[in-house]
Structure 1
Amino acid sequence: MQLDPATSEPNNVFAAPIFRRAIEKNDPQAMFYLGVMYLKGFGVETDPVKALGWLTRAAALDSGNSYYLLGVLNTHGIGMRRDVGQGLEYLSTAQAMGQLDAGEYLAACDGNAELQYELGQMFDRGIGTMPENDQIAYEWYRSSAQKGHVGAKFQVGLMLLEGRSVHAHKDAAMSLFSEAAEFGHTEALTMVNALSLRLPSALYQLGLLYGRDDVVRHDPQKMLGYIQEAAASGDANAQQKLGEFYIEGMLVGRDQVQAIYWFRQAARQKLDSAELFVNALERECADSLFQIGKRYFHHPQNLDFQLTRQWWERAAELGHAEAISALRSRN
């Protein structure tokens, strides 16, 4: 595949210099980088055809990395008609050139369950040079799960639960979660306890799980929904977390009345940290205000020290010596 260098230069401050280096220096590494950029949409619009073109040109100049990606693209039919035989040939060439990932890919194709799971993760999240592709991720996860891989069973269950690349099937998902939980998979046990038994503590943990971006995909609305359900069902930690959301205006509007309500609910269950918020917000306790400021010190939303400063300034107004000193040291 040939690209016209006179008309193909990307209009992007990062991609354009790499393009010029690829054209002027005939640099295979620059061509490879352009291929990855078009494959994943880094600084340019995603374009598998252009990605294929640059990778093909780089491979012709003995780029092992490009042979590897061409093998992946051909094997799965990304940007082209699927050609498994050609893909395996490219992967073998890359492996012979010392490209380690190609060897692992071939081992996964030969049935290595752990490597199949890892490839599922790479396509699931678009890790490294891999494009994000739910369908391919599901295929690798399913193949690994069929060989008994516990983590893969969880991920297949998750995709079935969410209907991601497959028809949603909650019963099948719960069955896989149960199997994984029996082997000690913590998140799978959380799914069972939350979705089947609706245990408040599990609903809260599931909410936190969706607030992260490692085992499951980050989903703020699901996080909020599960935490709200857990709070309404009486989980003290969820009640405090919901109170914090209302104070911070995170996913909900700022509402001190609602915040105090949920902090009170949690404090009635003897949650000391919730009592701290009640003392600060209702009773204007200077030391409680100061201690909450310290709690926010490493909070991800504490940009430019703003959250901590807000609490410490209120404590300082009430004459709290440590708050006054801490603020002075920050000025």
Structure 2
Amino acid sequence: MQSGQPEIADNPRAYVRWVMHAAQLGDVDAQATLAQLLLDGRGVQKDATLALSWFRIAARQRHPMAINMVGRCLENGWGCAIDLADAAQHYRQAADLGLDWGLYNYGQLLSRGRGVGQDLVAAYEQFRLAAAKGHAKSMNLLGRFHHEGVVVPQDVPLARQWYLRAAEAGDFRGQYNHAAELAQAGDEQQACMWLERALKTATPGFLEAAYPVLLASASSAIREMGLRYQQQSDPQ
């Protein structure tokens, strides 16, 4: 999009009007942005069906993120029926264009055999390519592959390096895994620091699974942290 547009934080509705005008004039970045605003309901009424339509318009112009987001809509049933096979095709197109999120999302389907035949070797390669582009979630997954010795030789020191890189790049799962490795090595202070970061941004589902592990920790500081965050998340 061109410079000079209003900022969404200053005036969301004016921003949406500006983006919509640019999208209607054929600006592909504006089309992808408008689609995301519609999907999220930011500055405009949420409309997943219309969002998907705009993603498709931008995707036809080979906009990598728009192609990826068509895949996300198809995978999750946002504005359409779930179609995992079609989602996989879109992720692969975005991956072929070099988009880190396309590589990651296609790798996820490959690793689980969803919409495409399971292929852990190919999944690892997608994550490796995405990680080389700085994709934090892919870095964490490479750590898991090396930690567990899946399709690559088990290499715990290398896994720890990937967890650290993912943690530093802001992935809460990487931060959690890095904290677990530090705790195992006896560095309780650093473990708690990284664990605190992870718990602040983790998803509810992840937290629900993590709390029993934290509360069973040999470290009193980690147990106390787990209890504190569990109480904060308890609506009662």
1:26 matched residue in structure 2: none
Deviations 1:123-169 (A, max 9, x none): 11111x21222111111111111122111000001111222221222
Q: Percent identity?
A: 18
How far did 1:170 drift? Answer: 1.9
2:115 matched residue in structure 1: none
Supply the distance in 2 between the matched residues of 1:157 and 1:181 (Cα, whole angstroms).
Answer: 11
Q: Are 1:293 and 1:310, in contact at CA under 8 Å, matched by a contact in 2?
A: no
How far did 1:276 drift? Answer: 3.5
* Residues 1:277 and 2:187 are matched in the alignment: no
Q: Are 1:160 and 1:172, in contact at CA under 8 Å, matched by a contact in 2?
A: yes
How far did 1:177 drift? Answer: 1.2
1:165 matched residue in structure 2: 79
How far did 1:110 drift? Answer: 3.0
2:195 matched residue in structure 1: 296
Change in CA separation of 1:312 and 1:156 when aligned onto 2, cut-off 3 Å: closer
Supply the distance in 1 between the matched residues of 2:55 and 2:67 (Cα, whole angstroms).
Answer: 7
Change in CA separation of 1:106 and 1:274 when aligned onto 2, cut-off 3 Å: closer
* Residues 1:140 and 2:60 are matched in the alignment: no
The 5 Å alignment of 1:242-257 reads none
Change in CA separation of 1:300 and 1:185 when aligned onto 2, cut-off 3 Å: same
Moved over 6 A (4+): 201-205, 229-233
Supply the distance in 2 between the matched residues of 1:104 and 1:293 (Cα, whole angstroms).
Answer: 43
Secondary structure in structure 1 of the residue aligned to 2:74: helix
Change in CA separation of 1:277 and 1:176 when aligned onto 2, cut-off 3 Å: same
Supply the distance in 2 between the matched residues of 1:112 and 1:274 (Cα, whole angstroms).
Answer: 46
Change in CA separation of 1:159 and 1:279 when aligned onto 2, cut-off 3 Å: same
Supply the distance in 1 between the matched residues of 2:56 and 2:149 (Cα, whole angstroms).
Answer: 35
Query: Please, which of 8, 30, 33 is the counterpart of residue 115 of structure 1?
Result: 30
TM-score, length-scaled by structure 2 = 0.51
Q: Give 1:183's aligned amino acid.
A: L
* Residues 1:150 and 2:64 are matched in the alignment: yes
* Residues 1:311 and 2:221 are matched in the alignment: yes
Supply the distance in 1 between the matched residues of 2:18 and 2:188 (Cα, whole angstroms).
Answer: 57
2:94 matched residue in structure 1: 180
How far did 1:201 drift? Answer: 8.4
Supply the distance in 1 between the matched residues of 2:106 and 2:92 (Cα, whole angstroms).
Answer: 6
Higher relative contact order (CA 8 A, sep 6+): 2
Supply the distance in 2 between the matched residues of 1:313 and 1:169 (Cα, whole angstroms).
Answer: 42
1:214 matched residue in structure 2: none
How many residue pairs are counted as aligned between the two chains? 161
Supply the distance in 2 between the matched residues of 1:298 and 1:169 (Cα, whole angstroms).
Answer: 35
How far did 1:300 drift? Answer: 3.9
Unaligned runs of 5+ in 2: 1-10, 111-118, 131-135, 164-175, 202-214, 225-236
Supply the distance in 2 between the matched residues of 1:278 and 1:113 (Cα, whole angstroms).
Answer: 49
1:212 matched residue in structure 2: none
* Residues 1:125 and 2:40 are matched in the alignment: yes
Supply the distance in 2 between the matched residues of 1:274 and 1:136 (Cα, whole angstroms).
Answer: 43
Supply the distance in 2 between the matched residues of 1:169 and 1:233 (Cα, whole angstroms).
Answer: 32
Supply the distance in 2 between the matched residues of 1:158 and 1:313 (Cα, whole angstroms).
Answer: 37
How far did 1:273 drift? Answer: 6.3
* Residues 1:104 and 2:10 are matched in the alignment: no
Q: Are 1:157 and 1:174, in contact at CA under 8 Å, matched by a contact in 2?
A: yes
Change in CA separation of 1:192 and 1:233 when aligned onto 2, cut-off 3 Å: farther
Q: Are 2:103 and 2:127, in contact at CA under 8 Å, matched by a contact in 1?
A: no
How far did 1:181 drift? Answer: 1.1
The RMSD of aligned alpha carbons is 4.6
TM-score, length-scaled by structure 1 = 0.38
